[in-house]
Amino acid sequence: MKVGIIGSGGREHAICHALNKSDIVKDVFCFPGNAGTATIAKNIDLNLEDFDKLKDFIISSKIDLIIVGPEKPLVNGIVDFLKDNNIKVFGPNKLASQLEGSKIFTKKLCQKYNIPTANFGIFTKSHEANEFIKKSKYPLVIKADGLASGKGVYICKTQGDALTAIKEIFDGKFGKAENLLVEEFLEGEEMSYFVISDGNTIKNFETAQDHKQALEGDLGKNTGGMGAYSPSRLMNKEIEKKILDKIIKPTIRGLKQAGINYVGFLYAGLMIVKNEPFLIEYNVRMGDPECQVILPKLETDILNIFLACCDGKLDELKIKWHDKKSLCIVLCARGYPDEYKKNILIENLDKIKITNREYIYHAGTINVENKIYSIGGRVLNFVCLSENFLDARIKILDTIKFLNWDNGFYRKDIGYKVIDK
Ligand code: AMP
Ligand code: GLY
């Protein structure tokens, strides 16, 4: 079979790599991919906003299945478009993707189906929001409604912070804003829970925890993710049952009642408060870098999983996992998540020797005349599977030290909550 993947991050390299292990997959195409995917797939440089060009390429290259990695094309309705053109595609459609595309859509769903989440208010006028926050307790959370690449969330410690947040959102910092969310601050520990769905059956796709802050000790600015580990230490049978019964199943059922069939990955960002799960947000895709730690644990052929979802046959498939610990450290360009330099040469990558339990997934890289350059903020993902998290972290740190990339920085404390010092 010929398979295409949309995206260019570490998540897509990891998916590409998993597909490459499948006996059924003949060719893999990546739209547009990175220097890592280029070694195991054909990178196709197309403007992803131009759905028509993409469709023409898929049809003329006879690609049998498309997998959509990132949220933006999903929220923009790429799945509906490709399906309308008789192309098999894995991912949720435009209506279902509102779970990530509109925080207010999700909050309303939670309200309707009693799904535990932080108490909230929706405001369409800044003076009303300003009045409300004067009477609120702090900390308080203020969120822009739409996609904001992880940046539209303000944890406000003071009324002054909240006033700034309201002003910035309504001034259009994250795109035109007709409303915003004010949320109660939940105190607990975060966990990411993943499922895969064919619309009728859902199956667990493992747990992970990521480190979003740029600096060690979970300090500094919010990023896309500086590292992750799987499984989450918070996972047990009792909490999993609560997550499924109180959050995931009512969501899928609620969508169904609105005529929406959810096919794809569903990523629940949760806050566990005194052993009770609360939904913080939904993402309609795999996490990045969570995908990079989860996929190396997968034993089942990933293509069969995607096909079973597209064909509504997930109930017939057993998904098997290696019982290992997995950890990922992301090497970033200095300056990220703010300004950073691009087109910096990365030497020594080809000299790195890794075992079959270690993986290097590229993100913001490009290959120019057989040399690898950085072109993004998150550049390389170093992953290791091991019996324990400490060994995995030590191996990765050795590898990154060997690479010795001057322009990079990374967190050495990934997984500190699951590693005893
Ligand atoms: P989100 O983009 O909604 O996942 O929010 C980004 C981060 O903000 C989350 O990963 C949490 O760390 C934090 N956050 C969001 N909402 C809340 C909340 N209601 N209470 C506490 N922390 C929150
Ligand atoms: N690592 C967070 C995300 O993928 O949204």
Predicted structure pTM score: 0.94
How far is C-alpha 355 from the chain's CA centre? 26
Using DSSP's 3-state secondary structure scheme, residue 204 falls into strand
Containing 273, the helix (H) or strand (E) segment is strand 263-273
Does residue 69 lie in a domain region? Answer: yes
Q: Which residues contact 130 (CB under 8 A, 6 or more apart)?
A: 163, 166
The pLDDT value recorded for residue 336 is 96
Of 280, 281, 285, 288, best ligand 1 pocket probe by most atoms within 8 Å of the beta carbon: 280
Count helices and strands in the chain by DSSP H and E runs: 13, 23
What residues make up the domain containing 166? Answer: 125-178
The answer to whether residues 202 and 298 belong to one domain is: yes
The answer to whether residues 204 and 146 belong to one domain is: no
* Residue 283 in contact with ligand 2 by CB distance below 6 A: yes
Does residue 61 lie in a domain region? Answer: yes
User: Which ligand lies nearest the alpha carbon of 188?
Assistant: 1
Does residue 55 lie in a domain region? Answer: yes
The answer to whether residues 139 and 194 belong to one domain is: no
The answer to whether residues 353 and 308 belong to one domain is: no
Does residue 96 lie in a domain region? Answer: no
> Atom 5 of ligand 2 has which residue's CA nearest to it?
287
> What total number of domains does the chain contain?
4
CA distances from 403 to 236, 345, 362 (A): 37, 12, 14
> Atom 15 of ligand 1 has which residue's CA nearest to it?
280
* Residue 100 in contact with ligand 2 by CB distance below 6 A: no
- pLDDT by 10s per residue, the chain, length 421: 999 999 999 999 999 999 999 999 999 999 999 999 999 999 999 998 899 999 999 999 999 999 999 999 999 999 999 999 999 999 999 999 999 999 999 999 999 999 999 999 999 988 998 988 888 889 999 998 877 776 788 999 999 999 999 999 999 898 888 889 999 999 999 999 999 999 999 999 999 999 999 999 999 988 999 999 999 999 999 999 999 999 999 999 999 999 999 999 999 999 999 999 999 999 999 999 999 999 999 999 999 999 999 999 999 999 999 999 999 999 999 999 999 999 999 999 999 999 999 999 999 999 999 999 999 999 999 999 999 999 999 999 999 999 999 999 999 999 999 997 6
The answer to whether residues 23 and 53 belong to one domain is: yes
Does residue 118 lie in a domain region? Answer: no
- CATH number of the domain at 135, please: 3.30.1490.20
Q: Please tell me the distance between residue 288's alpha carbon and the centre of ligand 2 in angstroms.
A: 5
The answer to whether residues 194 and 267 belong to one domain is: yes
Q: Please tell me the distance between residue 225's alpha carbon and the centre of ligand 2 in angstroms.
A: 6
**Rounded distance, CA 219 to CA 43, Å?**
36
Domain end, chosen from 115, 143, 178, is at: 178
Containing 111, the helix (H) or strand (E) segment is helix 103-112
Q: Please tell me the distance between residue 267's alpha carbon and the centre of ligand 1 in angstroms.
A: 14
The pLDDT value recorded for residue 38 is 97
User: Which ligand lies nearest the alpha carbon of 10?
Assistant: 2
- CATH number of the domain at 216, please: 3.30.470.20
> Atom 1 of ligand 1 has which residue's CA nearest to it?
281
The pLDDT value recorded for residue 150 is 65
Which atom of ligand 1 is closest in space to residue 281's alpha carbon?
A: 3
Residues with CB under 6 A from ligand 1: 118, 141, 150, 153, 183, 185-186, 190, 212, 269, 271, 280-281
* Residue 12 in contact with ligand 2 by CB distance below 6 A: no
